[in-house]
Chain A
Amino acid sequence: METWAFTAVAEGVRKDLILRRRPGPFDEETSRSTSLATEAALIRAAEKAGAPVAPLIHLAVPEDGLGEAHITLRISGETLGRKIVSDPKFETVRPHLARQCGQILARIHSISPVGLPLKTADAGEELDRYEAVYRATGAERPILELAFQHLRKSIPKPLPDVLLHADFRNGNLMIDPDKGVAAVLDWELSHLGDPAEDLSWICVNSWRFGRSDKPVGGFGDYQDLLEGYAEAGGGEIPLSRVLYWQTLGSLKWGVMCLMMYESYASGGTVSVERPMIGRRVSETEIDLVHLMEAGL
Chain B
Amino acid sequence: MIEHPKAEELVEAVAKWIDSVRPNLPPRDAFLARVAVNVLGVVGRELTLGPAAEANAVRRLSALLGQEGDFQALNAQLCEAIRDGEMDVETPGLLAALKANITEQIAIDQPNYSSVRPTT
On A, residues with C-beta under 8 Å from B are 140-143, 145-146, 149-150, 153, 205, 210-213, 215, 239-240, 243, 271-273, 275-276, 279-280, 282-283, 285-287, 289-294
Contacts and interface: CB of A to CB of B under 8 A. Distances in A.
Interface of B: 32, 35-36, 38-39, 42, 75-76, 78-79, 82-83, 85, 87-89, 94-95, 98-99, 102-103, 105-106, 109-110, 112-118, 120
Given A282-B102, A290-B115, 9 more contacts: A142-B82, A143-B102, A211-B114, A243-B120, A272-B32, A276-B38, A282-B109, A283-B115, A291-B117
B110 A283 contact: yes
Contact of B117 (A150, A276, A285, A293): A293
A276 B39 contact: yes
A290 B117 contact: yes
A interface, over-half SS? helix
Q: Kindly name the residue among B36, B99, B103 whose own CB sees the greatest number of chain A CB atoms within 10 A.
A: B99
Contact of A282 (B78, B82, B83, B110): B110
Contact of B99 (A271, A275, A280, A293): A293
A60 to B, nearest CB: 27
A279 B110 contact: yes
Contacts of B42: 276, 279
A8 B105 CA distance: 50
Contacts of A294: 117-118, 120
Contact of A143 (B85, B98, B112): B98
Nearest to B88: A149
A284 B82 CA distance: 18
A272 B39 contact: yes
B83 A145 contact: yes
Contacts of A275: 39
B112 A289 contact: no
Contacts of A286: 99, 102-103, 106, 113, 115
A215 B87 CA distance: 30
A24 B75 CA distance: 42
